Amino acid sequence: EVRVIPTSIHDIDNGKILGFDHNLSEDHPGFKDEDYKQRRSWIAGLARDILPGDEIPRLEYRPEEVETWAKALEELEQLFPTHACKEFLDAIDKLDFRPDVVPQLQDVHQVLQETSGFAIRPVAGLLHPRDFLNGLAFKTFHSTQYMRHWSQPHYTPEPDLIHEIIGHIPMLTNKYYADMVQQIGLASLYATDKEIWHLTKVYWYTVEFGVVMEDEEIKAFGAGVLSSYGELDHMRTGNPEFAPLDPWAKQPKMSYKDGFQKKYFVLNSFEEGSELLREYSQTFLDRKQ
C-alpha cells in the first residue's frame, strides 16, 4: 500500500473516528440518556463540515453543561497550585477560566495562535491515531466540542471539551511544550503503522501523562493528569514509579480503563524535552531524503 505523506493540514482527514458512535455503549455515563446522545451527536457532527481555517462555531451551552464544567473546574483548581507545573499555572492565569462560562473553541484557538501558533480543529470524537498525530506536525490540535455527561462531572471515558480545555489548551500556549508536541507529529508523518503505535505511547507518556521536575518536586503537565482530580492525587500520594523519558525505548503498555498510571515519565524541563524529541523525530525526518 502506498501512503501519501501529508504536506499541509488540508491533507488530513478529521473523519476517521475510532471512539464511541452516536449510540455510545453501556459503559458510557450517557448511554441511557437519549437527549444527551442527540446533543452529543449534533455537536460532534458540526466538526465534519469545518475546513481548516474556518471559524469554529460558537455553542450556547445548556445549564447542565455549564454546571458540569463548573464542578470539574472548581474541583481541579484545588490541586493546581500544589500539583501542576508553573507553565500550566501561568497559562491558567492568562486564560482566566470562569466557572459560569464554558470557553469557546474559537476563543482558545485565537489565544494559541497568538502564543505558540497552534490551531484548534474540531473533531467528532477519538480520531484515528495517525491522523491525530499528523495534525500535530502542522501545529493543529484536534479537539472535541461536546461535554461529558452531567451525572459524572469528574469522569469521562472519551475525550470531551473539559479534558481538552483544561488538560490540553493551557500547556499548548507554551512554546517549548508546543515544539515538543510538534516533534511527535513530525515523526508520525514518516512512521510505519507499527511506529504509529510506538508514537501513540510516547504521546501517552508525555502529552497525556507526563510530569516535570520543578525545584525537586514532581509536577504534572500531562492532560490526563491535569484534568483528573484522582490522577493528580494519585501521582503525588499513590507512590507510583517515576523514570526519565526515553522515546527510543520500548514503552510500557497503556492502561486506559484500570485505574491510574503505575509509572510516570519525568522531564527536567520543556526546553530539554523539546530537544530530546527533536533528536528523536530527526531519525524519522532523515527518511525524507
* Segment lying near ligand H2B (by CB under 6 A), choices 35-43, 124-132, 240-248, 271-279: 124-132
Based on the shown chain and the rule CB under 5 A, indicate whether residue 59 belongs to the binding site for Fe ion: no
Shortest distance (Å) from residue 46 CB to ligand H2B: 14
Backbone angles phi, psi at 63, to 5 degrees: -50, -40
227 is catalytic: yes
Near Fe ion by CB under 5 A: residue from 172, 223, 276, 277: 223
**Cβ-contact 112, 124 below 8 angstroms:** no
163 tagged catalytic: yes
217-222, long-range: CB < 8 A, 24+ apart: 218/242, 218/264, 218/266, 219/83, 219/84, 219/85, 219/86, 219/88, 220/83, 220/84, 220/85, 220/88, 221/84, 221/85, 221/87, 221/88, 221/171, 221/177, 221/267, 221/270, 222/167
Q: Which of 123, 186, 212, 276 binds ligand H2B (CB under 6 A)?
A: 123
φ/ψ of residue 219, rounded to 5 = -125, 150
Q: Which does 203 bind (CB under 5 to 8 A by kind): ligand H2B, Fe ion, none?
A: ligand H2B
Kindly determine how many residues on this chain lie close enough to bind ligand H2B according to the rule CB under 6 A: 11
Considering only residues 181 through 240, tell me which ones interact with ligand H2B, judged by CB under 6 A.
200, 203
Which among 32-40, 57-65, 217-225, 262-270 is the span making contact with Fe ion, rule CB under 5 A? 217-225
Whether the CB-CB separation of 226 and 88 falls below 8 Å is answered with yes
Residues constituting the chain:
289
State the residue number with the nearest CB to ligand H2B. 129
d(CA 123, CA 134): 14
Contacts of 242 (CB under 8 A, 6+ apart): 211, 218, 263, 264, 265, 266
Give 16 or 154: the residue with its C-beta nearer to ligand H2B. 16
Q: Which amino acid is at 287?
A: R
Residue 222's binding partner among Fe ion, ligand H2B, none (Cβ under 5 to 8 angstroms by kind) is: none
Stretch that binds Fe ion, among 19-27, 187-195, 221-229, 278-286 (CB under 5 A): 221-229
Among the listed residues 65, 87, 208, 231, the single catalytic one is 208
Q: Does 109 bind ligand H2B (CB under 6 A)?
A: no
**What is the rounded distance in angstroms from the CA atom of residue 168 to the CA atom of residue 78?**
18
Using the rule CB under 6 A, give the single segment among 33-41, 63-71, 95-103, 122-130 that binds ligand H2B.
Answer: 122-130
Q: How far apart are CA 151 and CA 154, in angstroms?
A: 9
Exactly one of 127, 165, 178, 191 binds ligand H2B (CB under 6 A); that residue is 127
Q: Exactly one of 168, 228, 231, 274 is catalytic; name it.
A: 168
* Stretch 49-88 residues interacting with ligand H2B (CB under 6 A): none
Binding residues for ligand H2B (CB under 6 A): 123, 126-127, 129, 132-133, 142, 144, 159, 200, 203
